[in-house]
Chains A and B, each alone.
Chain A
């Protein structure tokens, strides 16, 4: 029976860089037939962004592009031409879902690309679901504001609170707030867009109607800290990098002999277990540290002492000895160390994949193992226009002469 979960779902992706392509990738991973549209000659922006295989920039050596676009087929098309736009319309007639990240002003009613207006698309294909991803959404005073991934991340409110914590406070109390590493915000938005897209597919089973999903990067990112942000309307509390250290329980980031590690002590029981693991040092018997409240009130002292102990132990030692007693602790792993993680190996998390230009390598599969329709690597990220003949020929019936005319006109 099984096959793949999204068998038969056809997706057209008109996106570049991070969020949109990741949304489409997640769908492709679960078996959707995803066709990615790229501008001719230059392709998706991420092709020009590293990291590059062996640090050699090239259209097919971007590891970012490869990761974000595996399991998809790729075509080229210049949608900024009347013919290109006509072809988009023909393509959307044949798909279930369009994922696009064009600026809101390009998609509204008064603009350069009126055919991509949702109500027009809906008339062309009433079953079509359109997931639109923009920094600030399709409406509102900032809808036409420009934002790259740095701006969008900080628009979501999380950047303002980073880094924070005891060590950050000690090392750099006055420095600027930062965004996390890599393109986390882009990935988070893509994931959120995928949730809504699948929901819409489910909803369509009930009434046969499509839906317009308006994803604002800012709103997605705000959502990821909702409970903390709501402390502002609730009691005027604004969390920032400095007060992040003030918390309800002991724990945080600490140094140790060979790096850094993370700890949480949410209750007395874990504290007592921790004391045991530390060898019941004298200082823990002091009244000052007897209760959760008293330890939190004296968190700087407690943390200095915990770190003193930790400096004599490695991350692995600390991790396993604390976890054996039911205490939440975990090492900071470098990327190389993540690749060697035993638990991930047990899960088969890293899948053997390959790519014509780059060769064989292990790539993250999925965090979720589905018992009947598991994640699968189907094919590598496409080269630019790799599936032009297949899609234009197969879906739209264009012959090679037509394709070469379109190519000469730089439409594809």
Chain B
């Protein structure tokens, strides 16, 4: 491929918080020109304490303009922008875009083949569509919290990764619709419910609940229905852990060799995978007694050499110190116009062996006003001055 795949795609990005901006970050990393529209009149963003922090990791590779969408001129300029875009992404509370005169019906008047994605907590319409949601709620109401936790414990709260998962689904739906638009000339509107994204990722549980009845043991911790040993074991060091999963007789033998417990190969309790599953509590104790003497990375090397699936439970520090991830260049340093440098984690795929770059810093709000309004939309400089004076561009 000759360049990034979405290099001829332009996105008008009205999103805020985490899920929406992450979806447009994926698009930007794939080459799209993403123009972030921040409206001074729409409440949004994380509480101040986190805003600056999170913003830089979510909004690199994008451009930024500021508009007061609550003014007719501001909304008019947004429509002018959308006229030259392929895709609109927004995640305001349902009804907000309509209030601005920027709902799908209105937008098809300026660009008939526009693709518009509206992402919300529970859907654009319906009895609870105006309810406020955030990542942990998508997980609790989607059913994931209930099935996450220790077998003898309680449901678990899940957080940021839920937002980023929703962001992936948003990017997927947008690109599918864009593909259709490119192939046929037909745009469309997409109504995405964040909570529903989560339920799709545990479909087999939905089928089971219906066809087999409620599961009396919904939470499994790190355990598996078939494999044993299968868990997370304590290692040497502070809060250090290794994950080990054994599926085959060979892998079991590899573990026994690594642990220098060849006597286990003749032990009735562990003779086959069924028996190992029955005795997994004992095995867990025995393995823990061994793993505490090693660091997780020592164990990974030692066990992988014997063909055993063993991988540390990585902490953030582990990620940034890991030689494999360094080799894979999973992160990149970005330089802000102020000269400040910060590290971002780049896109999750290699395309033809190359990691999509962090080609630009996270923009300051309105940093690209001139470039977009004058350069892209062709407004005279004096007009842009006037709009800034009037508070339409702010």
CB distance from A21 to the nearest CB of B (A): 12
Chain A residues 171-227 with CB under 8 Å of chain B are 171-172, 175-182, 184, 187-188, 191-196, 198-207, 209-216, 218-227
Asked if A358 and B141 sit within 8 Å, CB to CB, the answer is no
Whether, in the assembled complex, B261 has its beta carbon less than 8 Å from a beta carbon of chain A, the answer is no
Residues in A with CB closer than 8 Å to B100 are: none
Whether, in the assembled complex, B156 has its beta carbon less than 8 Å from a beta carbon of chain A, the answer is yes
Q: How large is the interface on B (under 10, 10 to 19, 20 to 34, 35 or more residues)?
A: 35 or more
Contact with B along A324-353 (1 / 0, CB 8 A): 001111111111111101111011011000
> Which of A72-80, A301-309, A364-372, A399-407 forms part of the interface with chain B?
A364-372
> Which of B267-275, B301-309, B369-377 forms part of the interface with chain A?
B301-309
Q: Classify the secondary structure of A's interface with B.
A: mixed
Residues in B with CB closer than 8 Å to A223 are: 164, 345, 347-348
Asked if B129 and A195 sit within 8 Å, CB to CB, the answer is no
Asked if B203 and A343 sit within 8 Å, CB to CB, the answer is no
Residues in B with CB closer than 8 Å to A48 are: 226
CB distance from B51 to the nearest CB of A (A): 10
Asked if A192 and B314 sit within 8 Å, CB to CB, the answer is no
Chain B residues 139-196 with CB under 8 Å of chain A are 140-150, 153-158, 160-161, 164-165, 168-173, 175-180, 182-184, 186-196
Whether, in the assembled complex, B290 has its beta carbon less than 8 Å from a beta carbon of chain A, the answer is no
Asked if A150 and B320 sit within 8 Å, CB to CB, the answer is no
Contact of B353 among A154, A214, A358 (CB under 8 A): A214
Specify which of B3, B154, B165, B313 lies most central, judged by the most chain A CB atoms within 10 Å of its CB: B313
Q: Classify the secondary structure of B's interface with A.
A: mixed
Asked if A199 and B30 sit within 8 Å, CB to CB, the answer is yes
Using A150-B222, A227-B54 as known contacts, say yes or no to A176 and B156 having CB atoms under 8 A apart: no
Contact with A along B270-301 (1 / 0, CB 8 A): 00000000000000000000000000000010
Residues in B with CB closer than 8 Å to A227 are: 18, 53-54, 57-58, 160
Asked if B211 and A53 sit within 8 Å, CB to CB, the answer is yes
In the complex the two chains form, what is the Cα distance from A364 to B199 in whole Å? 7
In the complex the two chains form, what is the Cα distance from A54 to B7 in whole Å? 50
Asked if A252 and B157 sit within 8 Å, CB to CB, the answer is yes
Closest to B328 in A: A140
Whether, in the assembled complex, B338 has its beta carbon less than 8 Å from a beta carbon of chain A, the answer is no
Whether, in the assembled complex, A42 has its beta carbon less than 8 Å from a beta carbon of chain B, the answer is no
In the complex the two chains form, what is the Cα distance from A248 to B125 in whole Å? 31
> Which of B63-71, B237-245, B382-390 forms part of the interface with chain A?
B237-245
Contact with A along B347-360 (1 / 0, CB 8 A): 11111110000000
Asked if A202 and B316 sit within 8 Å, CB to CB, the answer is no
Residues in B with CB closer than 8 Å to A155 are: 311-312, 314
Interchain Cβ contacts under 8 Å between A and B, 21 examples: A5-B179, A26-B172, A51-B205, A150-B222, A151-B244, A154-B314, A192-B168, A199-B30, A203-B1, A209-B2, A213-B351, A249-B47, A253-B140, A262-B137, A323-B131, A330-B136, A334-B143, A338-B141, A338-B143, A346-B123, A347-B123
| Beyond A63-B208, A159-B313, A253-B145, 18 additional pairs, beta carbon < 8 A | A30-B176, A66-B204, A150-B222, A150-B245, A156-B314, A181-B148, A181-B218, A195-B26, A196-B351, A200-B351, A203-B4, A212-B351, A215-B349, A223-B348, A225-B161, A249-B47, A323-B128, A364-B199
